[in-house]
Amino acid sequence: MLASRSPADVRSRLDFWQALSGAVLALFICVHLLLEGSVVISPKLTNGIAWLLEVTFMAQVAAPCLVLLILFHFWIAARKMPFRAGELGVFVRHSRSLREADTWLWLVQVFTAVVILAGAFFHVYTVMTDLPITVDGSSKRLHDGWLAFYVIFLPCIILHTGIGIYRLAVKFGICSRAGRDRFRKAVWIIMACYLALGTLALARVWFLG
């Protein structure tokens, strides 16, 4: 008979899959936002990219895979989240006493994760049930009331992704303790650039409507 795995082994495996799924999702988000940002250059370019993704069925295949990966990642990460009010209170008190910025960053990830979990399903479902994907269609959605959704959803996505990349770098030794401040600043700058690009893209699509 195979020896049962120890709790430490189980935690280690779950941490690995959480990190791997998070890294894949982060890569997807970075590429996705860049492709979406192409509308700033030219709406025709964005429509062309969307057309290519659809005719090759990359969009149709990626959408359900993305949803499943988000669910998988959240399911693993949820074991560490302070869902109960008492747990959250203890965590906040400990964070204040430690005065460690990284602890607060993790709390931001927890809150943004909940927003992303709900928002991602609405976003994917709405887009994939309204094919073909076009800039005109996106503009119509914004004017139909979706602008407020993306104003909240976009910063949450960027914050969660950026903080996640930083925490992965720390966890796996890519970022040393001595270089954390510098690495953290670099991540914040990149997040600001992505937020600026996303905001410009939203504005561009809005004014096309």
Do 97 and 49 form a contact (C-beta atoms < 8 A)?
no
- Picking from 22, 38, 32, the residue whose alpha carbon sits closest to that of residue 70 is 22
123 is in an annotated binding site: yes
| Whole-angstrom distance, CA of residue 19 vs CA of residue 170 | 12
143 is in an annotated binding site: no
Check if the beta carbon of residue 46 is closer than 8 Å to that of residue 36: yes
- DSSP character for 134? -
94 is in an annotated binding site: no
- Is 201:36 a contact under the CB 8 Å cutoff? yes
Other Cβ atoms within 10 Å of 16 Cβ, number = 11
Note if the bond before 132 is cis, omega within 30 degrees. yes
**Whole-angstrom distance, CA of residue 111 vs CA of residue 134:** 31
The one-letter amino acid at 201: A
Q: Residue 142's CB: how many other CB atoms inside 10 A? A: 21
- The answer on whether 32 is annotated among ligand-binding residues is yes
Other C-beta atoms closer than 10 Å to the C-beta of 179 total: 13
Q: Which residues are annotated as a binding site?
A: 32, 73, 123, 160
Q: Which residues are annotated as a binding site for heme b?
A: 32, 73, 123, 160
